[in-house]
Amino acid sequence: MKSNEQRRSVLKKILMSSTAFFGIGTVTASQQKPVKKVVGKIIKDQDIPLFSGAVRHGNTLYIAGKGAHFDGDIKSHTEHVLKELRKELERNGSSMEQVLKVNVYLADLADYKGMNEVYRGKFGSKPPVRTTVATYGGVPGNSLVEMDCIAAVK
């Protein structure tokens, strides 16, 4: 009986020879090109990156969640969050009209109607796809709402 290590070695040799036969090359780490570009500021916690504020991949821009960390009601928080999204989009070559997808996180589902009153029309006449959920335990930083989005970049 062959050991698992011997079987893996044989399988690896077969795989490598078949990829060469079919013209499928292997790429080493040094040959790979980066597939994403961090375009916003990187949020750090003691010199260890926690997350990026924005990342561009090709013609797609991913914006991290924006919240409102001040006292106020759902309408003032929603207005603030949408302004922050707009600034991040424009800073990275996109716009509210180019947003493809929005995720909305509410601290309380009872705020759904008030959030919608402010949200309506902010993305132009053809709004993006949207998911809205109420979070268990609230939104980080005591924000009543947080939003992230995915947008096209020309």
The CA radius of gyration of the chain, in Å to the nearest whole number, is 22
On average, the pLDDT of the chain sits at: 83
Site of tokens 């990829």:
19
Domains of the chain, each with CATH number or no CATH: 37-152 (3.30.1330.40)
Q: Cα(127)–Cα(99) distance, rounded to whole angstroms?
A: 8
More confident residue, 90 or 9: 90
Considering only the C-alpha atoms of the chain, give the largest distance between any 2 of them, rounded to a whole number of Å.
71
Q: Has residue 115 got a pLDDT over 50?
A: yes
Q: What is the pLDDT of residues 79-93, one digit of tens each?
A: 999 999 999 999 999
CB 143 within 8 A of CB 104: no
Q: Tell me which DSSP letter residue 19 carries.
A: H
Q: d(Cα 79, Cα 85) in Å, to the nearest integer?
A: 10
Q: Residue 73 class from Cβ within 10 Å (0-12 exposed, 13-18 middle, 19+ buried)?
A: exposed
